[in-house]
């Protein structure tokens, strides 16, 4: 298995079936529309491939906040169900942590849905701890997939 950074919309669009594991209602058109907005803002994806099949995928952002300084943010972390418990998630988080260190970041941040206990356990096991709550106020219910 190898890890590859995906930096173009075309590379990312090719992984739509993986993204649909997390967002089953995500259409190709919507995915492309979002990616065309995100990629110019330094969004990229980290993908794990077994031969030519993507078995793990996450988005990655970089930014700076007053409370953290420079950080990397994991976004939409997915491991194909047939490949879970095989170390793929750890490979991704280790890769991201190395990228954060190389980039001079102070931390790696992420959001996990409150009901996703399996993901929360995984992140705890990788050394992540909750620092607060991520609050949202929904303005347009149709904006969610």
The answer to whether the beta carbons of residues 23 and 43 sit under 8 Å apart is no
CB proximity list for 5: less than 8 A, separation 6 or greater: 44, 45, 46, 47
* Tens digit of each residue's pLDDT (9 = 90 or more) over 24-45: 999 999 999 999 999 999 999 9
Percent of the chain with pLDDT over 70: 98
Q: What is the pLDDT of residue 145?
A: 53
C-alpha span between 62 and 90 (Å, rounded): 20
Q: Is 45 exposed, middle or buried (0-12, 13-18, 19+ CB in 10 A)?
A: buried
The domain covering 2-143 belongs, at the CATH homologous superfamily level, to Gcn5-related N-acetyltransferase (GNAT) (3.40.630.30)
Q: Domain residue spans in the chain?
A: 2-143
Q: What is the pLDDT of residue 144?
A: 61
């Amino acid at each position: 298995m190898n890890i590859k950074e995906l930096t173009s919309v075309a590379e990312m669009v090719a992984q739509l079936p993986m993204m649909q594991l997390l967002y089953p209602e995500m259409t190709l058109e919507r995915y492309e529309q979002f990616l065309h907005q995100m990629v110019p803002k330094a969004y990229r994806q980290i993908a794990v491939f077994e031969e030519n099949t993507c078995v793990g995928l996450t988005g990655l952002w970089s930014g700076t906040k007053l409370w953290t300084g420079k950080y990397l943010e994991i976004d939409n972390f997915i491991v194909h169900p047939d490949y879970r418990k095989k170390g793929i998630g750890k490979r991704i988080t280790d890769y991201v942590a190395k990228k954060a260190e190389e980039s001079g970041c102070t931390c790696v941040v992420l959001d996990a849905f409150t009901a996703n206990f399996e993901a929360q356990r995984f992140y705890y096991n990788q050394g992540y701890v909750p620092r607060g709550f991520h609050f949202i106020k929904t303005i347009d219910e149709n904006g969610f997939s």
